[in-house]
Chain A
Amino acid sequence: MKRRTRQRGLRLAGALAATVAFCIPIYIAFVNAFKTTYQIFYNPLALPWPPTLDNIVTAFQRSDHLVQGGLTNSVIVTGATLILVIPLGSLTSLWVFRLPPKPKSILLGFFAFGLMVPPQVGLQPTIRLLQALGLHLTYPGLILVNVGGGYLAFAVFVYVGFLRTVSQDVIEAARVDGAGEWRIWWSVVMPLIRPATVTVGIFVGLWTWNDFLSPLLILGPLKGQTITVGMYLSMSTYSTDYGQMFGIMLLAAVIPVAGYLISQREFIYGLMSGASKG
């Protein structure tokens, strides 16, 4: 018995040591956001004592409004992408799901292809197409590319995978009651497939927020960038001011990390279901 408890203690100690080692870079980014550059270099691993909010305050006081502007733009782009991709994805999936087996598997294969295409491959023609449509360097252009270019394929996969687990009887019953197809989609199917919507929302939201190459090239370097790209553009020049850098990074990462911590259970669930279908 005694040996068992000792084993347990050893295992916990090992797990703690591994977690601490693995998380050191995150710890460094977090604590150093609350230190002066002098404190950072004196000992990067020390706790921020006394803590300072200067890095955060100066990040907000920048004359280019990088943080306020970037956060606003990221919220707009992410929000608009989700508002389009969720109804479009669920409706397309519902339609594909009811097709006869052959066309259904052909269409699913067609969408599966999009999940694996490296985003760099079609970027050049994508931008020429945006230019032709007059949407280059605009938000609608970026949002359209987000929705069509890959995220919709992901949504279709998650939704079709989930629809397989939903009983068709409820939908049939609603139809017998005389409900129209759009009504059934909104009031019967959407509530049934809510976990799939949460998965799509979490992952597409995270990817859009963290996306780098598409916003960099589609919105262009000059105006109204997202926080992820804004951070990149400003910090390539500022890279010696470590305190400032960690402050901006903390502000860029706080929303996705907080979202993850809040929705952690759904996150892991979605990861397993989405990934196994993808």
Chain B
Amino acid sequence: MKTFKAARWALFPAAAVGLALYSLWVIYPIIASAVTSLTNASPLKTSTDFVGLANYAQMQTDARLHRSFTFTLIVVIVSTIGSNVIGLAFALLLNGPGRSYKVMRMLAFIPQVLSGVVVAFIWRSILNQGGLLNTWLINLGVMDQAIPWIGTPNLATFSVCVVVTWVNTAFATVVYTASLQSVPEELVDAAIVDGAGWLSRFWNVTWPLIAPGTTISITLSLITSLKLYDVLAVLTGGGPANQTNSVAYYLIQVAFTGNRFGYGSAIGILLLAITAVTSFVSTGLLRRREAKL
């Protein structure tokens, strides 16, 4: 026991450095943000005043913030449902034997390896007014006028949903493929012997057994699309007319371009609260489902 305690103190200096760095660059900035959110701080002002909850009250009348919430909500819902449905179907299709399936599974993950900046540039070159999709469709004679895929609010929202779903599908596919490979073959065979059809096998055997994969895939899709930033910076720049601002994108605009530290911090604290609640509720609900099975 004595050696054990001594051992604990021997490594303490290293752990102290780790804890200090983490506290300094994760915890302190959040506390500082929470404090700043109660002030009207700005580099353009000589003095900073305490304003209480005024920044939070201001959110109620900020139409651009409301739009950014609606937009983020649309992207989160569409991309989470889309990427999990498509990813699961894709994984079921790719969960075959042999080399060709292995290569296909390998290719399906590549969108996750690329940076959001590269992903968005690829899609911008495809979706631009004078981009590849329009040129291709016009060359084919399908249509004679370019479609503004990222030029109108509704089409741009749709396009962002497509891109985010595409990236998250790559993740979902790999998680579901790995989960499917852990389903014991004997169970599936037993169901076949019992005369269970394809749908019944999936619903009664496979689906319950891949529950942990579902938890990971859904929760991470929710969190990554909640903090959506990189794709927007390149693909739409938040436009047209600020209609594709995510909350994270709007917050950076307010704090860094608009120099309104106080209000920007308040939005940040709200985003953090939403992310925390979402991930707790999501893992809580999905884990409970895992436990039930």
Contacts and interface: CB of A to CB of B under 8 A. Distances in A.
B17 interface: yes
A99 B130 CA distance: 61
Interface in B258-281: 261, 264-265, 268-269, 271-272, 275-276, 279
B110 A124 contact: no
Interface in A240-266: 240, 242, 245-246, 249, 252-253, 256-257, 260-261, 264
Interface of A, helix, strand, loop or mixed by DSSP? helix
Contact of B276 (A16, A116, A229, A235): A116
Interface in A161-180: 175, 180
A106 interface: no
Nearest to A45: B136
A98 B8 CA distance: 7
Nearest to B237: A236
A231 B117 contact: yes
B93 A120 contact: no
Contacts of B233: 212, 232
Contact of A272 (B6, B175, B255, B271): B175
A47 interface: no
Contacts of B126: 25, 28
Contacts of A276: 212, 216
Nearest to A118: B227
A232 B234 contact: yes
B10 interface: yes
B121 interface: yes
Nearest to A181: B10
A242 B81 CA distance: 33
Given A185-B11, A271-B178, A213 B135 contact: no
A92 interface: yes
A49 B178 CA distance: 38
A180 B86 CA distance: 53
Contact of A249 (B22, B26, B118, B275): B118
A120 B26 contact: no
Contacts of B17: 88, 92
Interface stretch (B27-35, B54-62, B144-152, B184-192): B27-35
A81 B246 CA distance: 29
A99 B7 CA distance: 11
Interface string B94-125: 10100011001011111101111111011111
A175 B7 contact: yes
Given A40-B132, A120-B268, A185-B11, A114 B117 contact: no
A120 B94 contact: no
Interface stretch (A60-68, A149-157, A191-199): A149-157
Contact of A149 (B12, B26, B169): B26
A68 to B, nearest CB: 18
Contacts of A92: 14-15, 17-19
A121 B7 contact: no
Given A22-B90, A246-B125, A228 B107 contact: no
A144 B10 contact: no
Contacts of A41: 132, 135
B25 A210 contact: no
Contacts of A134: none
A257 B17 CA distance: 33
Contacts of A124: 29, 33, 36, 255-256, 261, 264-265, 268
24 contacts: A11-B93, A12-B100, A19-B107, A25-B122, A29-B122, A29-B125, A41-B135, A44-B135, A88-B21, A118-B271, A122-B33, A124-B255, A124-B256, A125-B36, A148-B22, A152-B18, A156-B18, A209-B115, A228-B115, A231-B118, A249-B121, A249-B122, A261-B106, A271-B174
Q: Which 9 A/B pairs are nearest by Cβ-Cβ distance?
A: A122-B29, A148-B25, A92-B18, A210-B115, A181-B10, A148-B21, A125-B32, A95-B15, A91-B14
Interface of B: 3-4, 6-8, 10-12, 14-15, 17-19, 21-22, 24-30, 32-33, 36, 90, 93-94, 96, 100-101, 104, 106-111, 113-119, 121-126, 128, 130, 132, 135-136, 139, 166, 169, 174-175, 178, 212, 216, 220, 223, 226-227, 229-230, 233-234, 248, 251-252, 255-256, 261, 264-265, 268-269, 271-272, 275-276, 279
Given A152-B22, A278-B220, 6 more contacts: A25-B166, A92-B14, A147-B21, A156-B18, A182-B11, A271-B174
